[in-house]
Structure 1
Amino acid sequence: MFSHIFMSVSDFDRAFNFYRPLMNSLGVELRFCDHEKPWAGWHSAGKERPFFVICKPHNGQPHHAGNGQMVAFAATSQAAVRATHQVALENGGTCEGPPGLRPQYHANFYGAYFRDPDGNKLCVACHALPVDIP
């Protein structure tokens, strides 16, 4: 469905230091990184697309976090949701909703919400049967 998802950032190095461990936690591969441009892109293991890309705004204007936009990453387990949420908080993210079941979405939805250092809203979610909730 998607070719790529682009996330604007104000400070590339700070953002890269946030997203690299986050993507590692999810098992998402770094496909490219160019500090001169600056931009970086990740994709699921063994895949070519879609890409998740961070970069300063192309038009040179300041970054602004959107109101109502969110990117949600898939996790393979509830444990991965918890671990990734913790990694986000340890690397400059802020909590927007701790890991847990969200039955208002569907019976198996287990997710966590956070913002990156630029205020972009992110989610990590697992849709599998809730078998490893502590």
Structure 2
Amino acid sequence: MQLLDHVSIGVPDIQLARLFYDAIMTALGACKVYDRPTALGYGERCNGSDTESTFLAVYLDPAEVGTSKRHWCFKAISREHVDAFFHAGLSAGGQSEGDPGLRPHYHRDYYAAFLIDPAGNRVEAVCHAAPSESKFS
């Protein structure tokens, strides 16, 4: 069961958010489904024939984010996608909150990276799978 249907993240500067979220969502393989002057959308909304999808909305909100424990974690299909998320986010104005790597205190194969977006929101990408076997080993 997928617990979340959709998540909304508020940001005070949609232009900075556009650069950052376009970069990290592309790195994770998520499609951009809309781009409006005050909102961005990624992923796919659920419908009657697709009840498994997840959707992210990033919207203009002039309120200050400030220091908080709010945290959004995105699934990555591979460790390489986690790495790409991290480097794309840094290149697009994000700050490191934790380099890509294993977090064995969660479980043996928990591979994640953490970023702070330009507004101060904390985001993570995680791959739960063990590393795939190399074709060349």
Q: Same fold (TM over 0.5)?
A: yes
Alignment partners' CA distance in 2, 1:117 and 1:51: 21
* Structure 2: runs of 5 or more not aligned: none
Residues 45, 55 of structure 2: 8 Å contact kept: no
After TM superposition, the runs of 4+ consecutive aligned structure 1 residues lying more than 2 A away are 44-50
The reply to whether residue 42 of structure 1 matches residue 46 of structure 2 is no
The reply to whether residue 107 of structure 1 matches residue 108 of structure 2 is yes
Equivalent residue letter for 2:4: F
Alignment partners' CA distance in 2, 1:128 and 1:45: 25
The 5 A counterparts of 1:1-134 are 1-35=3-37, 38-43=38-43, 49-57=53-61, 61-65=62-66, 67-131=68-132
User: What is the Cα-based RMSD across aligned positions, in Å?
Assistant: 2.1
How big is the shift at 1:3? Answer: 2.8
Paired residues in the alignment total: 127
TM-score (norm 2): 0.84
* Structure 1: runs of 5 or more not aligned: none
Q: Could you report, residue by residue, the CA deviation over 1:50-76 in whole angstroms, capped at 9, with x for unpaired residues?
A: 21111122xxx5231451111011111
Q: Could you report, residue by residue, the CA deviation over 1:37-93 in whole angstroms, capped at 9, with x for unpaired residues?
A: x10111159968421111122xxx523145111101111111111111000001100
Equivalent residue letter for 1:56: L
TM-score (norm 1): 0.86
Residues 95, 117 of structure 2: 8 Å contact kept: yes
SS of match in other structure, 2:123: strand
